[in-house]
Chain A
């Protein structure tokens, strides 16, 4: 217990003194996860909406596949991307392995199915209410899809949030494709795993506290934005 207590004191000290090493890790983590989630939203939302609205062959297979991919094991995703990006792999010449870009790609692959599947559900539900009105107005295609995405924005915030939760907490994929290289690809989760195994509990705990704080505050902010907006637009 005293070990935990000592770790907590050191951790608080690291956080309060804005330790540069700690800050570097936190900022890289945020950068990787935010970019990954942003890209995943750009791909996943139109994809989910298209599956909800358009009838095409293989649509139900794709929808099932997407839901199944919500639970992809991160280490397997990491492994596959590692093979693609490794020097002898098809994307090897790009030289992306062990860079933050590789980590962004890995997280994006993990998060896109989550955002797409949740978007599909939201848009399907909304379309039940809106479809006849849109047909009466003569609205279809992209114009209809854009309006539905916009009108579903309160629920879609939750979808993006679920994606961010997955991205920021994930360790397996970024560890494999990033390599946990100091000052280059070291993020919060990989550092926690490494430092814990080295017995450096203070740094691990400090990062753990920050990770939890970020996750709580992002969620709280998103929920309150959604509530305020909902009260305003109903």
Chain B
């Protein structure tokens, strides 16, 4: 039996409350092993021989200047794009087979033209959650995101921060082991950013593994346990967050931390 199938069998869907006590539920789908990943657009190598392994129990911050390939890497990890060469393996499985345990939230999430609650309900229905179980799961996800009072509001008229929280709640409602977040707080004001960071922390405490890209260094310090630093389609550093911020090893990382504009 595959590792993913094994956990699925071992702890079934129903017992995962959104705010259950902390425990390691990420072991089966992790480690994420990315090896020699190459992605090309025309003649440009946008990702160049990327290799790393992510183990359970750490929040990973994907850092790097614009165009480093952060969003692209997340999309490849979620199986939305096919690499030219190399592979992505989640606990030994392909990205598409790991879909049940990995959810992704885009920088600009697409919300459906229906209520906030119905957006979450739709995502659960897609994952095959039976109708009877959905209502409670929707309410839990809304509560986790602090959106109960907006449940019946059309999703597209919510504020930017509320929309992003709803998108995270929608991805989290199906109780994935891993959440991939692409710049979840870009273009948001500090209050909205704080609300999203709180939500991410509570999801982490509930046992999910967070892998997120951000351009906000202070945020990476607040949320990150380890850092993957990317520059020009390569991973230059993969170190504990403390080490990265205190003793960056590569010249581009030092320049990035100083606030220089990297070309």
Residue B157 interfacial (CB < 8 Å): yes
Contact of A233 among B78, B103, B157 (CB under 8 A): B157
Residue A216 interfacial (CB < 8 Å): no
Q: How far is the CA of A83 from the CA of B73 in the complex (A)?
A: 61
B-contacting 9-mer, from A57-65, A129-137, A173-181: A129-137
The answer to whether A136 and B157 have CB atoms under 8 Å apart is no
Q: How far is the CA of A129 from the CA of B108 in the complex (A)?
A: 10
Least Cβ–Cβ distance between B191 and chain A, in angstroms? 22
The answer to whether A232 and B106 have CB atoms under 8 Å apart is no
A-contacting 9-mer, from B9-17, B119-127, B213-221: B119-127
Contact of B110 among A130, A232, A234 (CB under 8 A): A130
Least Cβ–Cβ distance between A24 and chain B, in angstroms? 41
Residues of A contacting B157 in the complex (Cβ-Cβ under 8 angstroms): 232-234
Residues of A contacting B45 in the complex (Cβ-Cβ under 8 angstroms): none
Contact of B109 among A133, A143, A147, A153 (CB under 8 A): A133
Contact of A136 among B80, B122, B154 (CB under 8 A): B80
The answer to whether A233 and B126 have CB atoms under 8 Å apart is no
The answer to whether A135 and B113 have CB atoms under 8 Å apart is no
* CB-based nearest A residue for B158: A234
Least Cβ–Cβ distance between B178 and chain A, in angstroms? 13
* CB-based nearest B residue for A138: B99
Q: How far is the CA of A129 from the CA of B106 in the complex (A)?
A: 12
Residue B156 interfacial (CB < 8 Å): yes
* CB-based nearest A residue for B115: A233
The B-contacting residues of A in range 47-103, CB under 8 angstroms, are none
Least Cβ–Cβ distance between B112 and chain A, in angstroms? 6
Residue A5 interfacial (CB < 8 Å): no
Residue B114 interfacial (CB < 8 Å): yes
The answer to whether A136 and B104 have CB atoms under 8 Å apart is yes
Residue A139 interfacial (CB < 8 Å): yes
Least Cβ–Cβ distance between A75 and chain B, in angstroms? 41
Interface size on B, residues (CB 8 A): 20
Q: How far is the CA of A198 from the CA of B119 in the complex (A)?
A: 60
Q: How far is the CA of A133 from the CA of B110 in the complex (A)?
A: 6
- Contact of A137 with B154 at beta-carbon distance under 8 Å, contacts A132-B106, A150-B113 already known: no
The answer to whether B127 and A138 have CB atoms under 8 Å apart is yes
Interface size on A, residues (CB 8 A): 17
Contact of A143 among B104, B113, B126 (CB under 8 A): B126
Q: How far is the CA of A144 from the CA of B19 in the complex (A)?
A: 30
- Contact of A232 with B154 at beta-carbon distance under 8 Å, contacts A137-B123, A143-B126 already known: yes
Write the B154-181 contact mask toward A (1 if CB under 8 angstroms, else 0).
1011000000000000000000000000
Least Cβ–Cβ distance between A71 and chain B, in angstroms? 31
The A-contacting residues of B in range 90-146, CB under 8 angstroms, are 99-100, 103-104, 106, 109-110, 112-114, 122-123, 125-127
Q: How far is the CA of A17 from the CA of B103 in the complex (A)?
A: 66
Q: How far is the CA of A150 from the CA of B106 in the complex (A)?
A: 22
The answer to whether B114 and A138 have CB atoms under 8 Å apart is no
Least Cβ–Cβ distance between A125 and chain B, in angstroms? 13
Contact of B126 among A129, A138, A150, A151 (CB under 8 A): A138
* CB-based nearest B residue for A153: B113
Least Cβ–Cβ distance between A144 and chain B, in angstroms? 9
Least Cβ–Cβ distance between B211 and chain A, in angstroms? 14
Contact of B114 among A130, A133, A135, A233 (CB under 8 A): A233
- Contact of A147 with B122 at beta-carbon distance under 8 Å, contacts A132-B80, A136-B78 already known: yes
Residues of B contacting A129 in the complex (Cβ-Cβ under 8 angstroms): 110
* CB-based nearest A residue for B75: A132
Rank and list the top 3 A-B pairs by shortest CB-CB distance, nearest first. Answer: A234-B156, A133-B110, A139-B126
5 contacts between A and B (CB under 8 A): A136-B80, A136-B103, A147-B112, A150-B112, A234-B157
Q: A133-B109, A137-B126, A151-B114 are in contact. List 12 more A-B contacts (CB 8 A).
A: A132-B110, A135-B80, A136-B104, A136-B106, A138-B99, A143-B126, A147-B112, A151-B113, A153-B113, A233-B156, A233-B157, A234-B154
Give residues in B with beta carbon < 8 Å to A. 78, 80, 99-100, 103-104, 106, 109-110, 112-114, 122-123, 125-127, 154, 156-157
